[in-house]
Amino acid sequence: MAAGEQVVSATPVATRLSRVRGPVFGITGQGLNAATNVVTAYLAAQLLHPDAFGAFVLAFAGVTLVLAAGRGLIGSTMLVHLPTLDDERRAALVRSAIGFTLVIGLVLSAAAALVGPPELRVFAPWLTGALLQDAGRYVFLADRRPGSALLLDVAWALVQLAVLGLWLWLGPPVGIGALAVSWGAGALAGVALLVLTADVRPRRPGPWVHATRDVAGWFTVVAVLGSAEVFLVLLLTGSVLGATDAGGLRAAQLLAYQPALVVLGALLVLVTPVMVRARASSAALRAASVRVLVAVSPVVVGLVLVAALHGPLMAVFFGQFTAFAPLVVPVAVQGVLTALTVPAQALLRGLRRGRTVFVVQLVRMVMLVVGAVLGLLCGGVTGVAWGLAGATAVALAGAQIVARRAVRQEAP
């Protein structure tokens, strides 16, 4: 009897642990995936001559845009489509999606090598591998296996650091080519692990293109817009106020907004399949939205703490920009408002409202630019930061209205 009771009591514990591990693995993987690119840029700043670093920044911006487009075209689409399929159909479409990723990767790599600037050409051979690794991550995430996705990111990070460390140990000067090789080797390590752990033999892209044609294009544009909005604001600030003010604003964003975005992006990836499965009824969708709101609450608490401690934190992490510490408060407010939009974003994605998601994202980007311009005219860089917060509040209200309307239209 005692043994039987132990077995029964262990089941809820195991279930709770599984529920904890999933989000932890998902957020860790998303953070590690973002960190491989952030660390690459940080190392470039430390190792390259300022002129070479400027060229690197432009080239890597192109790489980031390619990866964002690939994630929208393939990864985000997997999250809303694969959970609706049975095992056999899902396995066939995964292989078709991998074939599509391979074709897209080879085309983009060839285009970068043939017509891209010299700094981008050094990344061209590795773009296909990076896109395949990212597609593999989303195969696992759509299948609710964030631990497997995390392993792909770990493989990338370890190999990238190992190759770069070997390069430094051997002694030749580190240039853009060395950074590209270490980055690409990490991507290929992730692809190798994917091939060893999943059946991802590429097949004809046609079935995947046909099955996802109603959402893939919209999600691609949404991903590109999401990557572009931050750079547009920084470009505007730098062009009008100068590089120092743009740097101060970016430092405040890196302290408060960027870490929050990484976590929120991971949560959005994890909860979108939940919304897909909850679309059968409006009650299930509302309950899932409440759970998502609870999930983002630690991010909100963290942002409040960062805002309260903005002075000491800025001095520790960005000592050269301590004069811009007050910007952390409006930037944190923007982060809180962005966190509150995640339930609506997840709901619209789960309902496969690709066009609606695009419109919401486009309106958000336009509002951010308008808010930044108005803030710039009224109060310089401080006005820009508060203008972005105000624009995000308007975008939040719009997203909530659209999401509620979508629930009424979708489910009984």
pLDDT at 412: 56
Average pLDDT of the chain, as a whole number: 81
Considering the chain, what percentage of its residues have pLDDT values greater than 70? 85
Of the listed ranges 31-45, 62-76, 264-278, 381-395, the one predicted with least confidence: 31-45
The more confident residue out of 143 and 127 is 127
Task: Give me the mean pLDDT over the 234-256 stretch.
Answer: 79
Cα(98)–Cα(94) distance, integer angstroms: 6
Q: What does residue 273 show for φ and ψ, rounded to 5 degrees?
A: -60, -30
Residue with token string 């983009």: 108
Closest by CA to 335, choosing from 225, 261, 397, is 261
For residue 10, pLDDT beyond 50: no
**CA-based nearest residue to 367, from 232, 248, 220, 165:** 232
Check whether 12 has a pLDDT greater than 50: no
* 8 Å CB contact between 368 and 233: yes
Measure the CA–CA gap between 365 and 230, rounded to whole angstroms: 9
Q: Give Cα 411 distance to the centre of its chain.
A: 29
Name the band, by pLDDT with cuts 50, 70 and 90, for residue 8: very low
Pick from 11-15, 120-124, 335-339 the range whose average pLDDT is largest: 335-339
What's the predicted TM-score (pTM) here? Answer: 0.70
The three-state secondary structure class of 370 is: helix
Confidence bin at 310 (pLDDT 50/70/90)? very high
The span from the CA of 265 to the CA of 252, in Å, is 19
pLDDT at residue number 23: 62
Q: What is the pLDDT of residue 258?
A: 79
pLDDT at residue 13, rounded to an integer: 37
By CB neighbour count within 10 A (0-12 exposed, 13-18 middle, 19+ buried), where does 87 fall? Answer: exposed
Is-contact 118 56, C-beta < 8 A?
A: no
Domain ranges of the chain: 12-211, 216-410
Q: Which residue has the higher pLDDT, 288 or 28?
A: 288
Mean pLDDT of 126-150: 88
Cα 23 to chain center, whole Å?
Answer: 15
Amino acid in position 151: L
81, 98, 177, 239 from 108: Cα distances, Å: 24, 15, 19, 31
Q: Is-contact 284 94, C-beta < 8 A?
A: no
CA separation for the pair 100, 115 (Å, rounded): 22
- Evaluate whether 321 touches 247 at the Cβ level (below 8 Å): yes
Look at 266-275, 316-325, 330-339 and tell me which has the smallest mean pLDDT.
266-275
DSSP state of 261: H
Structure tokens at 202: 């590429």
